[in-house]
Structure 1
Amino acid sequence: MSGVGHVTQDWEPVVIRKKAPTAAAKKDEKAVNAARRAGADIETLKKFNAATNKAASSSTSLNTKKLDDETENLHHDRVPTELKKAIMQARMEKKLTQAQLAQIINEKPQVIQEYESGKAIPNQQILGKLERALGAKLRGKK
């Protein structure tokens, strides 16, 4: 075996530790601890969703903008009573359940439920789908 490097296996356990805190983190910790010892009031701030890559969905920002522009009554438009009744009547005439209607317009049954209970914020796209599915005119009275 001369001339050939002899390979041995090393069965020693390798311990991989979590990275030690960076110098900046240590410095902050030191400063906080020093302030604590000095008896100063310490205010810590927990940042929620910090460093997450979640852009606010455009629909919510539109609604919040509408709310910001609104000065008097701070609430979204809800489904008017006539519309609730119109949706329910048209659905009953077609003998559809809320779930079946939701399936036809490709929405969750909860959406239909919210429209019929008046909790939903009217969405023109959904109203359009409902009109086509039910064969009834639901909007245009405003």
Structure 2
Amino acid sequence: MPSRFGGAVSQDWEPVVLHKSKPKSQDLRDPKAVNQALRSGAAVQTIKKFDAGSNKKAAAGPVIYARKLDEAEEPAALDRVPTDVRQAIQKARLEKKMSQAELAKQINEQLKVVQEYENGKAVPNQAVLAKMERVLGVKLRGKK
């Protein structure tokens, strides 16, 4: 149908308002209904929900108590990069006239990883050692 504004067709929209239905007075989840039931003397069952309303997450597994941790044996220290491997990495890198950053870039690792291996602070990872062996051309794993 033509419009009075130059022939364009327009649509008249009527607003639609949605209303929430009011809870029934018998619904005991409604605090007003609970209060009314308490005032009238009706029996109301209450359940205490522990940690309700807090932002805590439930423990995934069994709760570990501090006493059990104290009585447990100390975990064994993790092995670090041996001195001979550290020195082999440094020597091979310097012979190839590479910086630690260049080596890290070639093995696709962060500079921090190479620094930790050369300082002996890293826990040896066979995949990283294999990459270093390939780039540096030296044997770092297994028997020499």
Q: TM-score range by the shorter chain?
A: 0.5 to 0.7
In the other structure, the counterpart of 1:47 is: 57
Structure-2 separation of matches of 1:15 and 1:134:
73
Cα–Cα, structure 1 residues 132 and 8, in superposed 2: closer, same or farther, change >3 Å? closer
TM-score (norm 1): 0.53
Q: Secondary structure, in 3 states, of the residue corresponding to 1:113?
A: helix
Q: Once superposed, which parts of structure 1, at least 4 consecutive aligned residues long, lie more than 6 Å away?
A: 42-45
- Describe how 1:62-101 pairs up with structure 2 within 5 A: 74-101=76-103
Cα–Cα, structure 1 residues 120 and 10, in superposed 2: closer, same or farther, change >3 Å? same
In the other structure, the counterpart of 1:31 is: 47
In the other structure, the counterpart of 1:105 is: 107
- Offset, 1:126: 1.1
**Paired residue type of 2:15:** D
Cα–Cα, structure 1 residues 116 and 49, in superposed 2: closer, same or farther, change >3 Å? farther
Q: Secondary structure, in 3 states, of the residue corresponding to 1:10?
A: coil
Structure-1 separation of matches of 2:59 and 2:135:
40
Structure-1 separation of matches of 2:19 and 2:127:
58
In the other structure, the counterpart of 1:137 is: 139
Cα RMSD (Å)? 4.0
Query: Please, which of 12, 15, 36 is the counterpart of residue 10 of structure 1?
Result: 15
Structure-1 separation of matches of 2:59 and 2:100:
36
Give ranges in structure 2 of 5+ residues lacking alignment.
Answer: 1-11, 21-27, 32-45, 61-72
Post-superposition Cα deviations, 1:88-132, rounded to whole Å, max 9, x if no partner, equal 111111111111101111111111111111111111111111111
Q: Secondary structure, in 3 states, of the residue corresponding to 2:121?
A: coil
Larger Rg: 2
Cα–Cα, structure 1 residues 83 and 15, in superposed 2: closer, same or farther, change >3 Å? farther
How many matched pairs? 99
Cα–Cα, structure 1 residues 116 and 48, in superposed 2: closer, same or farther, change >3 Å? farther
1 or 2, which has the higher helix percentage?
1
